[in-house]
Structure 1
Amino acid sequence: MASSTGRAGTKVARGRGNKATSGKGVKASTRKTDEIAAKAADATPEAPVETPAAAAPKPAAKRAAAGSATPRRRAFDSTDSALQRKPAARRKPAAAAEKTAAPAGAKAAATKAPARPARKPRGKPVAPPDPAPLSQEASARAVDDAAHGEAEAMPSIEEALGRLGFGSNAPTAKKLAGNIERIEALGQRLVAAFGDRALHDPGVEGPSPELYMTAAGAWMKTLAEQPARIIEHQVNFWGETLKHYARAQMALARGKLALPEEEAPRDKRFKHPLWHSHPYFNFVMKQYQINAKAMKDAAADLQMPDEVARRRVNWLTNQVIDMMAPTNFLATNPDALEKAVETEGESLVRGLENLVRDVERHGGEMIVSLADHDAFAVGENIGTTAGTVVHRTRLFELIQYAPTTDQVHALPVVIFPPWINKFYILDLKPQNSLIRWIVDQGHTLFVVSWKNPDASFADTGLEDYVGAYLEAMDKVRELTGQAKLNAVGYCIAGTTLSLTLALLKQRGDDRVNSATFFTTLTDFSDQGEFTTFLQDDFVNGIAEEVERHGLLMAPLMSRTMSFLRANDLVWGPAIRSYMMGESPPAFDLLFWNGDSTNLPGRMTMQYLRGLCQRNDFANGGFELLGHRLHISDVTVPLCSVACEGDHIAPWKDCWQGVAQMGSADKSFILSESGHVAGIVNPPSKRKYGHYTGGADFTHGFQAWRDSSSFAEGSWWPVWGAWLAERAGEMVPARDPGPGLEPAPGRYVHERAI
């Protein structure tokens, strides 16, 4: 009964041209209804109803009663759940007033003027006939119901999905509706997270305009001097594309879906079977390869002004090629499409959740998480070798590890890890911990744990780090009672160890008995894959960042390093996380890789300008602490370990620096694999081999390689034997005692800001 009253009230309002969503129209209609009802109360039931001609109001009154200056305006039918617009009923005003004025239960014999029937909308059913007339109270209530009808009639997400064809599968519709709501909330969080992103100097956001101008100038020069060359490239590209299209058409006509198996690419991005069996994906893959080859050929033939420009253009070309791979897009990634269908879209929602999480975690920067951040805790399931913090300064903590043998070598060992990352890369799990292995070989081991700097370290320079080396060495000698020690430097810490050794040489200090360098660059004459990032435009951008923040922020450093291996460290992880909706793996090595540190501003610029760009240490000398230090000043017995697949410190450049050092006792070990995996290579795995024994340091790296021999398995035992020969006699093991606190200390837990 209530619903019937609501529909009747709506029809009354619509018959007068009233608009249910207009506040003014509702009030005018209510006042007019009250006036008509009052007049009807004075009339007797037996009195005949006035004819339309006698009761018709003036045009002005007619418009006022309707609440609109446009009598033929189409009203919005608030009772239609689909919110469809219908034409207003064309009844005469008197008839409408007559129906409203008639009291409830009026005699059926009362004379009524015939009303023009409502026009039937196309494709819609005819509206049902009007119900019995309403009383004054019911009519007013109906008008109020009509005013709120539109909001009540808005369909829910489930209803809307039902109209799209999901009504027959209620669980699916409900799940899709829930996913849509999650996407809306995640979208708002994503926008807010991007809003927190700090603005960087344009120099670090992308290639400078000068690089584009250089490339454009080279292209114009080639076009002017060798126009046939440009035309040849274009014709070859067109020809390959047309042949590809024709081959695909012929294969389809013969019922074949793909190219012969021997032509299938070995690119791991295209390992899904559909890349080779499905005509659509196969065509896309092959065309991408044609495009990539055309771009590389065109870039290679440009007449560049120098080798630096050529390397930069080649790097930019490869970045574009990697970015445009069909695997990076949902519509052309069969893995992601299959996962989306299998999970009814859940994988895409989880992918958006992963994206929002990464952007929020990195302060607005879109840096994909390479490992599960909750899977590891330093000191609990990684970095667990027993030890004690025995010394702490503003810049570092010194950890002494507990012995595992009854006797140890007299001369202690101190490791200086890079301050770009945390030291526990050498102590991930017991089975691959170099720190634990060294202790097990009978050495008293100390390791430096560097402070993760904040803006207060802006003026900390290389001289402060060299001073920290000397302070740590003094403390090690004090605690062990030994005048000499063996030192190890990893990556940038190895470079700084070389500077420290050169300084000690000039001061006549012989505290270091031997030195070991892990993946250490000391000669930067060949900048390799860092060429793009070591030019003035990018370095000037870094200088602006350092001036603004006092630091080289960890997210910017991580992003830059990742694009050296974009497919492995950017696009591949992004596909798995954002398109497939997969959780990052619980991989300790990648967890460490994401635990980056900030770099002090002064130290950053000294390293980039003096060592990398000008190559002072290998050329005229590097000014530090009142001395001009040169690579030839390194004269202690040394062993250098480089990695064959290292893209950060190429082994040929590492060898080049060692060849220039003044030491008479040199050993060089070349491990298989890369910058980290080649070092964290325990003997138990027997995964990567190594080259040793080369003695030729005068005729280039290839001559050394030719004079070396290859051996299966880890290089650790070879180096261990070398170190033992220089570590002195055996003495009772040294217990570090309680110290300041247990290893791994507190500095290692500090996260980058």
Structure 2
Amino acid sequence: MSKKPSDPTPAENTPESANPYIEIAERSQRLVNDWLTRHGNEIQAPDVDPLNVGEAFLEMTRHMMANPQKMMESGLSLWQGYMELWQSTALRMMGAEAEPVAQPARDDRRFRDEAWTENQVFDYIKQSYLLTAKWLESTVHDVEGLDRKTQHKVDFYTKQFVNALSPTNFLMTNPEALRATVESKGENLVNGLNNLLEDLERGDGKLAIRMTDMEAFEIGKNVATAKGKVVYRNDLIELIQFDPLTDKVSQTPLLIVPPWINKFYILDLRPENSFIRWASEQGHTVFVISWVNPDAKLARKTYDDYMLEGPLAAMDAIEQATGERAVNLIGYCLGGTLTAATLAWIAGQRSKRWKNRVKTQ
């Protein structure tokens, strides 16, 4: 007997085809239950507007209401724009050529897929969005009497709102996403939901968005490849020493102060792009500060503490390890800011203890 066209394919009837959906449902339920178990009694109403965005928009609205004629002109310009768009779309539907009413900026990559232009429905969605977005941004920007700070805040959050509502962000109004869904038979949506669940699981119920491939780095292979040893530690740092890789060694040790918002091994990735290894190959005895991950115990630590227990404590430890009082000092990123503050502090000291402690910086 021949199979009817409406009959499901064998693959659709197999239990395996439902497995991803069953797994997602189970993981979602488990995640919700775990979160409620841990935080069920701690749920509090969030601060609705911690950044006072609403107040800025209320202030903008008050100024706009003071000039009703300008509001009417703004509304009329939007209406005229839509009349032109409707006429243009109608001409295209009848097979005639029509100039677009609204076009994306040259650097706007969201609408580069051909379907945004060739498909009349998606072309209309694109143009109506661009038309409304431009109108909204220009309307809130051109408000007389609004102070500069409030105007910047209104402009910024309006831009975020407009970008969030882009049709490219929604499945049913994004031809590329729809095409990928059809071609993968929905697998792309399943994978996306899996990624969301992984981010929620990683954050114990809070959204901890993965910014990189967690499996991409391996210690000693493509991160932290230089061989070093911890020679000092306190509440805020561990000081790591890397021996020179040459027979001739520079007398003055090199101290590197990295930022505390990421790890020291940003300077020690693969051997071919490791600054620490390169410095060791130039004959330097390299010392690098590794900042601890702060927790509640360090809540009362101040910027002064980061200076005293960071670069200054490291200098004393280097003197103990090498016998050299002076160091060559390098600061990277936020570590450079701390280094500059440290140098200014040293320059203001009258004690001989800190005189000539930094040779070059």
TM-score bucket (shorter structure) = 0.7 to 0.9
Q: Is the 8 A contact 1:413 1:444 kept in 2?
A: yes
What is residue 333 of structure 1 aligned with on the other side?
174
Please give the residue correspondences for 1:49-448 in structure 2 after superposition, counting only pairs within 5 Å.
167-174=7-14, 176-192=17-33, 195=36, 202=46, 206-208=49-51, 210-224=52-66, 226-254=67-95, 259=100, 265-303=106-144, 305-448=146-289
Map Cα deviations across residues 99-129 of structure 1 (whole Å, 9 max, x no partner): xxxxxxxxxxxxxxxxxxxxxxxxxxxxxxx
1:342: Cα distance to partner? 1.4
Map Cα deviations across residues 61-120 of structure 1 (whole Å, 9 max, x no partner): xxxxxxxxxxxxxxxxxxxxxxxxxxxxxxxxxxxxxxxxxxxxxxxxxxxxxxxxxxxx
Task: Supply the distance in 2 between the matched residues of 1:304 and 1:477 (Cα, whole angstroms).
Answer: 61
SS of alignment partner, residue 268 of structure 1: coil
1:355: Cα distance to partner? 0.6
Task: Supply the distance in 2 between the matched residues of 1:466 and 1:487 (Cα, whole angstroms).
Answer: 14
TM-score (norm 2): 0.85
Q: Is the 8 A contact 1:259 1:276 kept in 2?
A: no
Change (3 A) 1:201 1:261: closer
Please give the residue correspondences for 1:566-585 in structure 2 after superposition, counting only pairs within 5 Å.
none
1:472: Cα distance to partner? 0.2
Map Cα deviations across residues 627-649 of structure 1 (whole Å, 9 max, x no partner): xxxxxxxxxxxxxxxxxxxxxxx
1:304: Cα distance to partner? 5.9
- Aligned amino acid, residue 212 of structure 2: A
- Aligned amino acid, residue 272 of structure 1: D
Residue 358 of structure 2, aligned match among 481, 489, 512 = 512
- Aligned amino acid, residue 478 of structure 1: Q
SS of alignment partner, residue 408 of structure 1: coil
Percentage identity across aligned positions?
Answer: 35
- Aligned amino acid, residue 167 of structure 1: D
Task: Supply the distance in 2 between the matched residues of 1:206 and 1:490 (Cα, whole angstroms).
Answer: 35
1:176: Cα distance to partner? 4.8
SS of alignment partner, residue 391 of structure 1: strand
SS of alignment partner, residue 375 of structure 1: coil
Map Cα deviations across residues 604-626 of structure 1 (whole Å, 9 max, x no partner): xxxxxxxxxxxxxxxxxxxxxxx
- Determine if the alignment matches structure 1 residue 501 to structure 2 residue 347: no
* 253-262 or 503-512, which deviates more: 253-262
1:476: Cα distance to partner? 1.8
SS of alignment partner, residue 442 of structure 1: coil
- Determine if the alignment matches structure 1 residue 479 to structure 2 residue 337: no
Task: Supply the distance in 2 between the matched residues of 1:263 and 1:213 (Cα, whole angstroms).
Answer: 31
- Aligned amino acid, residue 13 of structure 2: A
Map Cα deviations across residues 659-704 of structure 1 (whole Å, 9 max, x no partner): xxxxxxxxxxxxxxxxxxxxxxxxxxxxxxxxxxxxxxxxxxxxxx
Q: Is the 8 A contact 2:224 2:269 kept in 1?
A: yes
1:297: Cα distance to partner? 0.8
Map Cα deviations across residues 208-264 of structure 1 (whole Å, 9 max, x no partner): 4x431232222222321x322222222222222221222122122226699599977
- Aligned amino acid, residue 333 of structure 2: C
Change (3 A) 1:302 1:363: farther
1:419: Cα distance to partner? 1.2
- Aligned amino acid, residue 251 of structure 1: R
1:171: Cα distance to partner? 1.1
How many residues were matched structurally?
349
SS of alignment partner, residue 217 of structure 2: coil
Q: Is the 8 A contact 1:264 1:276 kept in 2?
A: no
Task: Supply the distance in 1 between the matched residues of 2:115 and 2:182 (Cα, whole angstroms).
Answer: 15
1:471: Cα distance to partner? 0.8
Q: Is the 8 A contact 1:166 1:173 kept in 2?
A: no
Residue 453 of structure 1, aligned match among 279, 289, 294 = 294
Q: Whose Rg is larger?
A: 1
1:305: Cα distance to partner? 4.7
Task: Supply the distance in 2 between the matched residues of 1:413 and 1:319 (Cα, whole angstroms).
Answer: 45
Change (3 A) 1:199 1:298: farther
Task: Supply the distance in 1 between the matched residues of 2:107 and 2:80 (Cα, whole angstroms).
Answer: 24
Task: Supply the distance in 2 between the matched residues of 1:442 and 1:350 (Cα, whole angstroms).
Answer: 50
TM-score (norm 1): 0.43
1:500: Cα distance to partner? 1.8
Map Cα deviations across residues 273-327 of structure 1 (whole Å, 9 max, x no partner): 2223222222222222222212211221124653322222222112112211112
Change (3 A) 1:313 1:190: farther
Q: Is the 8 A contact 1:193 1:360 kept in 2?
A: no
Task: Supply the distance in 2 between the matched residues of 1:361 and 1:411 (Cα, whole angstroms).
Answer: 44
Which ranges of structure 1 fall in alignment gaps of 5 or more residues? 1-164, 516-753
Task: Supply the distance in 2 between the matched residues of 1:269 and 1:192 (Cα, whole angstroms).
Answer: 38
Q: Is the 8 A contact 2:242 2:280 kept in 1?
A: yes
Q: Is the 8 A contact 1:186 1:352 kept in 2?
A: no
1:170: Cα distance to partner? 2.1
1:339: Cα distance to partner? 1.8
Task: Supply the distance in 2 between the matched residues of 1:200 and 1:472 (Cα, whole angstroms).
Answer: 43
SS of alignment partner, residue 151 of structure 2: helix
Change (3 A) 1:166 1:365: farther
Q: Is the 8 A contact 1:179 1:349 kept in 2?
A: yes
Map Cα deviations across residues 531-562 of structure 1 (whole Å, 9 max, x no partner): xxxxxxxxxxxxxxxxxxxxxxxxxxxxxxxx
Q: Is the 8 A contact 1:186 1:356 kept in 2?
A: yes
- Aligned amino acid, residue 320 of structure 2: E
Q: Is the 8 A contact 1:385 1:435 kept in 2?
A: yes
- Aligned amino acid, residue 244 of structure 1: L
SS of alignment partner, residue 271 of structure 1: coil
Task: Supply the distance in 2 between the matched residues of 1:493 and 1:206 (Cα, whole angstroms).
Answer: 33
SS of alignment partner, residue 246 of structure 2: coil
1:496: Cα distance to partner? 2.2
SS of alignment partner, residue 270 of structure 1: coil
Task: Supply the distance in 2 between the matched residues of 1:315 and 1:470 (Cα, whole angstroms).
Answer: 41
- Aligned amino acid, residue 481 of structure 1: G
Change (3 A) 1:376 1:263: closer
SS of alignment partner, residue 407 of structure 1: coil
Task: Supply the distance in 2 between the matched residues of 1:223 and 1:355 (Cα, whole angstroms).
Answer: 43
Q: Is the 8 A contact 2:32 2:205 kept in 1?
A: no
SS of alignment partner, residue 348 of structure 2: helix
SS of alignment partner, residue 113 of structure 2: coil
What is residue 745 of structure 1 aligned with on the other side?
none
Task: Supply the distance in 2 between the matched residues of 1:200 and 1:438 (Cα, whole angstroms).
Answer: 52
SS of alignment partner, residue 226 of structure 2: coil
Q: Is the 8 A contact 1:258 1:279 kept in 2?
A: no
1:166: Cα distance to partner? 6.1
Task: Supply the distance in 2 between the matched residues of 1:326 and 1:166 (Cα, whole angstroms).
Answer: 33
- Aligned amino acid, residue 215 of structure 2: D
RMSD of aligned alpha carbons: 2.9
Q: Is the 8 A contact 1:415 1:488 kept in 2?
A: yes
1:414: Cα distance to partner? 1.0
Task: Supply the distance in 1 between the matched residues of 2:75 and 2:82 (Cα, whole angstroms).
Answer: 11
Task: Supply the distance in 2 between the matched residues of 1:427 and 1:463 (Cα, whole angstroms).
Answer: 27
1:477: Cα distance to partner? 3.0
